[in-house]
Structure 1
Amino acid sequence: MRKSDKKTENQIREVLTEVCEDTLKGYDGFLWVTHTVKYSSFPQSLKIVCVFDTNQDRANFLVGEGPQHVSTTIQKAFNKVGVQFKNVDKQISYDTQLD
């Protein structure tokens, strides 16, 4: 990993930690946020996964304003550090820890 990749990774982790803490307060069953990224094509390659405890928790989140809130929170948090997305919604997915 190059030095610039480490800097990008740290930036991503800091932003997503902020998003996670915000989301934990507002949504039952929300557990954590994780991500994958190809540094050479960041931010387009960034994939963010919001993980819930159960399928029901995820379903409850998806039928409400949760996805819009999380999307806006992620966009605003990355904007603070100078990272813009064309369509952040396409880079966010929702999963459960149970298969």
Structure 2
Amino acid sequence: MKKTVKKLDNNVVKALTLACETAKDWDIGFEWLTHSARYDHFPGSLMVTCVFNIDAEVSQAEQQGDDKRMRQLIQQQLLKAGIRLKDSRHHVRFDSEESCLREDNGNWQQRLTRLVG
């Protein structure tokens, strides 16, 4: 990984870590997040996956507007790191441990490659 790409990825990780820790305090079933990006097509290729425990918590978050709040939080933290997303709806997706277990036998690497890769 080139030095500039590594620095950019570190900035993304720091921003997303802050967003993750904040969202976990909201008590909405959110567990963790991860990201992927092709840095030769950045920031357009950035994809953040927010993981909840069960499908019902994802649905509830969407019904109560917590998905919008999480997208705003992620976008805000990335902007503080100098990373501007055109539309966070295209860069942030929601998933659950339950869906991963049901559809990919709990293999997150396989799931993320299949869904966002």
TM range (shorter): over 0.9
Which residue in the other structure is 2:6 paired with? 6
Give the secondary structure class of the aligned counterpart of 2:85: coil
Displacement of 1:56 after TM fit? 1.0
Measured against aligned partners, the alpha-carbon deviations of 1:67-93 in whole angstroms (never above 9, x if no partner) come to 111111111111112111111111110
Give the secondary structure class of the aligned counterpart of 2:43: coil
Q: CA RMSD in A?
A: 1.0
Which residue in the other structure is 1:46 paired with? 46
- With the length of structure 1 as denominator, give the TM-score of the two structures: 0.94
Structure 1 spans left out of the alignment, 5+ residues: none
Contact kept, 8 Å, 1:51 with 1:96, in 2: the verdict is yes
- With the length of structure 2 as denominator, give the TM-score of the two structures: 0.80
- 1:54 alignment partner AA: I
Matches within 5 A, 1:1-99: 1-99=1-99
Give the number of the structure with larger relative contact order, counting CA–CA contacts within 8 Å between residues 6 or more apart: 1
Give the secondary structure class of the aligned counterpart of 1:31: strand
Structure 2 spans left out of the alignment, 5+ residues: 100-117
Contact kept, 8 Å, 2:12 with 2:81, in 1: the verdict is no
Query: Sequence identity, in percent?
Result: 28
Give the ranges of 4+ consecutive aligned residues of structure 1 lying more than 6 Å apart after TM superposition. Answer: none
